[in-house]
């Protein structure tokens, strides 16, 4: 081997080594593995804001009398194809399909990561016979959803959604209750200027008339449609209105669902609007709002920050699905729900300059005695029992270094464990001012709380 060349080998752990000109081997790390495209890591500095939104969702679920229901992250493809519609984008273009273990019975089955929660919740409702429970059933879910979509700001292939569903209530009042619930969530999250876009797309009685009107209208302008809209026109004309690239003038002059509603649907929607007005809830009619899933009926709604109504700016949405339970094998049961994307809400808050969420003050327990680890743990345990946020320093560094480290991690207080512990006391130090005083251990949590 010439002295100007190097060679290498692979170790048992998979690390490559390089041999230099002197014959010495040095490790060379393998290539870094990054997060999948369209997914992201939630880093610690983002965690407090995320935790705050989750806490708002959980608290509102309790206050509005919803019970928790969780479904698997994956379900049979058939569930989504039947419930959402085989030609919906969620099924046709955006579904993450998975397979069972090689050689297993499930290997031949078709599975998919859930693209939305409603179909799974309705499947659970039917499977567990929840129709016999005193109704209506009110449930909530908070968790990840998956869609193989083009990644962009606020739109991820794995995203987190808060979802609420009501099964068994056909009246218009619950429609308004859910819109009001969503408005309250955005207000508590600090997002300003949220408006509900509202429409009614009718039911099985009046939808065929609207469908025929759309076929006639768009059929006469087929040369102005995108290839995607021409395909949609053949399988589900309503979804032409959902095309992001639809000609604006063509969309503006398209037939409107409100002009084709039957008497029952017209009365339902009229009551919804009058109740929204009475409650002072901001909304605007949106005749293009048909939502992208086939199970929707009657009331549909989406939420936007006023002035930011683009296709990728919706903060959440939902509507009625009065035929979905029957479609999935259950007894006819009306349903309504919504989903709010937490990723979008966080992004909207950042755009509006909402101050970042602040953690509870951090307390660090330190000691000059390297052998005082049990004492540090015990003091930390006492403070945690009182509900405080505490981190004991387990190092053997000098006390000054421990205090310096506590300041760097943002601690407000340092509890110094020393000889004072023999008389059941510690030293409490304010790291922002340097002031310190001896405090009885029994009153330590109260002393910190009072300051």
∠ at Cα 119 (115, 124), nearest 5°?
Answer: 125
**Distance, CA of 246 to CA of 132 (rounded, Å):** 45
Q: Strands 297-305, 67-68: parallel, antiparallel or unpaired by DSSP?
A: unpaired
Q: What is the pLDDT of residue 249?
A: 86
| Cβ neighbours, 10 Å, residue 383 | 20
Q: How many CB atoms lie within 10 A of CB 97?
A: 11
The Cα 255–Cα 238 span in angstroms is 10
* Beta-strand relationship, 413-417 and 389-392: unpaired
Residues 6+ apart with CB under 8 A from 205: 262, 264, 265
CA distance 401 to 411: 14
Name the nearest CA neighbour of 366 among 347, 393, 389.
393
Please give the average pLDDT of every successive group of 10 residues along the chain, which has 451 residues. 47 55 70 85 86 95 96 90 71 76 68 92 95 93 88 79 96 96 95 94 90 89 85 82 81 90 96 96 90 81 83 84 92 96 90 81 91 91 92 92 92 92 91 91 88 75
- Pure H helices in 85-151: 89-92, 118-127
Angle subtended at Cα 314 by Cα 185 and Cα 229, rounded to the nearest 5 degrees: 150
Nearest to 166 by CA among 154, 176, 156: 176
Quote the CA–CA distance of 116 and 96 in Å, as a whole number.
12
Instruction: Give the three-state DSSP class for 354.
Output: coil
Give the per-residue pLDDT at 355. 80
| Res 250: pLDDT | 87
Task: Report the C-alpha gap between 298 and 321 in whole angstroms.
Answer: 8
Location of structure tokens 């429609």: 175
pLDDT at 39: 85
């Amino acid at each position: 081997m010439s002295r100007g060349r190097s060679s290498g080998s692979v170790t048992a752990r998979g690390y490559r080594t390089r041999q230099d000109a002197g014959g010495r081997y040095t490790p060379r790390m393998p290539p870094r593995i990054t997060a999948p495209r369209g997914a992201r890591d939630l880093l610690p500095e983002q965690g407090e804001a995320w935790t705050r939104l989750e806490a708002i969702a959980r608290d509102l679920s309790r206050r509005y009398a919803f019970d928790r229901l969780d479904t698997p992250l994956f379900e049979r493809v058939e569930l989504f194809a039947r419930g959402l519609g085989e030609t919906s984008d969620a099924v046709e273009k955006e579904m993450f399909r998975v397979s069972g273990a090689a050689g297993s019975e499930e290997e031949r089955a078709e599975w998919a990561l859930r693209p939305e929660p409603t179909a799974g919740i309705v499947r659970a409702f039917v499977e567990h016979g929840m129709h016999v429970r005193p109704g209506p059933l009110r449930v909530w879910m908070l968790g990840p959803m998956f869609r193989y979509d083009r990644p962009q700001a606020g739109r991820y292939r794995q995203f987190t959604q808060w979802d609420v569903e009501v099964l068994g209530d056909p009246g218009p009042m619950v429609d308004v209750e859910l819109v009001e619930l969503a408005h309250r969530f955005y207000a508590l999250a600090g997002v300003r200027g949220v408006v509900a876009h509202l429409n009614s797309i009718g039911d099985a009685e009046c939808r065929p008339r609207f469908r025929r009107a759309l076929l006639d209208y768009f059929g006469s302008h087929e040369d102005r449609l995108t290839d995607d809209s021409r395909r949609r026109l053949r399988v589900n004309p309503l979804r032409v209105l959902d095309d992001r690239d639809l000609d604006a003038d063509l969309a503006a002059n398209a037939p409107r669902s409100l002009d084709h509603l039957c008497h029952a649907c017209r009365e339902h929607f009229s009551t919804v609007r009058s109740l929204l007005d009475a409650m002072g809830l901001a909304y605007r009619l949106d005749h293009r709002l048909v939502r992208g899933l086939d199970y929707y009926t009657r009331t549909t709604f989406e939420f936007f920050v006023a002035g930011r109504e683009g296709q990728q700016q919706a903060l959440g949405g939902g509507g009625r699905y009065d035929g979905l339970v029957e479609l999935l094998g259950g007894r006819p049961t009306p349903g309504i729900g919504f989903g709010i994307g937490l990723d979008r809400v966080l992004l909207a808050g950042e755009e509006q300059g909402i101050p970042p969420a602040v953690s509870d003050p951090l307390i660090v327990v330190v000691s000059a005695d390297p052998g005082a680890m049990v004492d540090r743990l015990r003091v930390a345990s006492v403070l945690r029992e009182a509900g405080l946020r505490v981190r004991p320093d387990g190092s053997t560094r000098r006390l000054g270094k421990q205090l310096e480290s506590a300041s760097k991690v943002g601690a407000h207080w340092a509890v110094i464990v020393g000889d004072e512990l023999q008389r059941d006391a510690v030293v409490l130090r304010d790291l922002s001012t340097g002031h310190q005083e001896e405090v009885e251990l029994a009153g330590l949590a109260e002393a910190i709380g009072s300051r």
